[in-house]
Structure 1
Amino acid sequence: MRYKMKKFLVSLEKDIQRRELFFSQRNTQDFEVFNAINTMTQDLTSLGNLFDIIKFAQYYGRNVTKGEIGCTLSHLAIYQKIADDETINERDYALVCEDDALFAENFQQVIQEIVKQPMGADIILTGQSKILEFNHIELEINYPSTFKFLQKKIANSGYRYSYPYRNYFAGTVCYLITKAAAKRFLAELTNGRLPFWLADDFILFNEKFKLNTAIIRPLLAIENPVLTSNLENSRGSLNNNLFKKLLKYPLKKLLAFKRNL
């Protein structure tokens, strides 16, 4: 292995059971637990000193929730740890997971292969939220990439990486980020500026921060259904909108093909 990847687990200090379930999975002993920032007991006035609530509303057209603020602040705090770690080089990846992550059987093996071969992307989405299976049909219909034979193979595995047809909100259940990308986020917080973005707004990160986000297929991590209450609703999502999604699919596939050329 070219370097020993740093791995971070985001988890609220009170969520002991969730952490126990996470660490019951194989090859998780080297994760560093980061106690997520709990914003639920704070009022919005005090949170306004840490997060730009007004700019969020202007950009997203709605009010931010306390949980969303806590999520963004927690991930930024991890980026600070990555930036401050002198053992991590600029293009080295660190792995960030949330405590509801359920790993594929060969998760560790594939992660090790990713470390060995340069990907070029600033962020690699190894997991996704609100997806029922590691290779669910929803991934191809709603979030397609280029044709499989044009996707880049991850050595010694059946996994491939590429760019999606466009960046999208994929959740923060599990992803890789380079030290350079982590520092790019922190650069947005200089001169008294506050964060205003959702932690998984990969569209904004590409358009504003110029960060390239790649995807892994099949997924290496999904939300653990034991912990996730909103999966039941997403089960009907594909069927209810299947016709509309299929109408959009050819254009999405073409855009993905062009983006990966």
Structure 2
Amino acid sequence: MINNYVISLESATERREHIKKEFEEKNISFEFFDAISPTVELINIYLPNINKSTLTKGEKGCLLSHFLLWKKCIENNFDYIAIFEDDVILSEDANKFLSQIDWLNERFNTQDNIIIKLETFLQPVKVSESNITSYYNKNFLNLETIHFGTAGYIITYQVAKYLVNILSSMKDNEFKPADWIIFEQMHINSKNKIYQVSPAICVQEQQINRENSKLSSQLEKERKLNIKYTKKTIIEKVIYKLHKPIRIIKKINHLKDKVKIPFYYKGKKYD
């Protein structure tokens, strides 16, 4: 059985009810992991270097919560740990992946640095075919660019050790949000293998209910408030318009060879 953990604030009653329903309907066992409210005292105990970083309070709490689950994986000597956030929606076949461990052992070596991204953020990403055998019509693709979101992923014990060591030695100006560290920083070391499940096994509720999300992300609200908008001068406006063709070309090149990882839910395809 896979050790499934869901990060959730103890006070987040609506989100906890949502996630209980998601996992119980699919007959998947899991445990709540109480999300960390990043007080200076707690940060000084677990990850003191993050205190002076430019991350928002929510980003610090998110990163610290994931960090403590990685440590839990190490302390309990888990071969794998599956980590979720409390706003995910699971695919109908999630049970085949989250209630059994045989498919993992048949395809991956627990001694390797393996990350398996279960989630899709419905953003264009670059992937390529791997030599990993598909399972229940889902492919394990090589993830070659960052794919935002930390709402659903599996890591091996070796990756947990790697991530804990990386974060413990980071300087305050090197810290980035959790998804950047997991799905971007990990590419630096060629020993780390990052796979994307496609179609995805989970998605954040707000990604498929953008207009009427019941579980909107406080973290996203913080990130938007953290962006400082400055009024452009007339010259800056002119330059901005003149550079529009260049921006369009850059956008086309940026999206070239990228695809969105789909998610199927109640007979509908989201991509």
User: In the alignment, does 2:168 pair up with 1:176?
Assistant: no
| Root-mean-square deviation over aligned CA pairs | 3.4
- Residue 246 and residue 107 in structure 1: after superposition, are their counterparts in 2 closer, same or farther (change >3 A)? farther
Structure 2: distance between partners of 1:6 and 1:242: 45
Structure 1: distance between partners of 2:14 and 2:250: 40
Identity %: 24
User: In the alignment, does 2:119 pair up with 1:122?
Assistant: no
- CA offsets per residue over residues 103-151 of structure 1, 9 Å max, x none? 011111134364242235611100034x3xxxxxx4xxx213226xx67
- Residue 191 and residue 151 in structure 1: after superposition, are their counterparts in 2 closer, same or farther (change >3 A)? closer
- Letter in structure 2 aligned against 1:211: N
Q: Which residue of structure 2 lines up, in the alignment, with residue 154 of structure 1?
A: 134
Return the TM-score normalized by structure 1.
0.69
For the residue of structure 2 that corresponds to 1:219, the secondary structure is: coil
Q: Which residue of structure 2 lines up, in the alignment, with residue 30 of structure 1?
A: 29
Q: Which residue of structure 2 lines up, in the alignment, with residue 6 of structure 1?
A: 3
Would you say the 8 A contact 1:153–1:159 is kept in 2? no
Q: Which residue of structure 2 lines up, in the alignment, with residue 207 of structure 1?
A: 188
Would you say the 8 A contact 2:115–2:195 is kept in 1? yes
- Residue 46 and residue 7 in structure 1: after superposition, are their counterparts in 2 closer, same or farther (change >3 A)? closer
For the residue of structure 1 that corresponds to 2:71, the secondary structure is: helix
Return the TM-score normalized by structure 2.
0.66
Would you say the 8 A contact 1:93–1:176 is kept in 2? yes
Specify which of 76, 90, 103 is matched with residue 90 of structure 2. Answer: 103
- Letter in structure 2 aligned against 1:162: L
Which blocks of at least 5 consecutive residues in structure 1 are unaligned?
Answer: 57-62, 132-137, 232-240, 254-261
Structure 2: distance between partners of 1:152 and 1:196: 32
Q: Which residue of structure 1 lines up, in the alignment, with residue 235 of structure 2?
A: none
Range 7-16 or range 199-208, more displaced: 199-208
Q: Which residue of structure 2 lines up, in the alignment, with residue 69 of structure 1?
A: 60
Would you say the 8 A contact 1:8–1:34 is kept in 2? yes
User: In the alignment, does 2:80 pair up with 1:85?
Assistant: no
Quick check: which has more Rg, 1 or 2? 2
Would you say the 8 A contact 2:9–2:34 is kept in 1? yes
Would you say the 8 A contact 1:124–1:215 is kept in 2? yes
User: In the alignment, does 2:127 pair up with 1:145?
Assistant: yes
Structure 2: distance between partners of 1:219 and 1:242: 29
User: In the alignment, does 2:15 pair up with 1:18?
Assistant: yes
- CA offsets per residue over residues 145-173 of structure 1, 9 Å max, x none? 226xx674423x11101112x23042100
Structure 1: distance between partners of 2:257 and 2:18: 40
Would you say the 8 A contact 2:49–2:170 is kept in 1? no
Higher strand share: 2
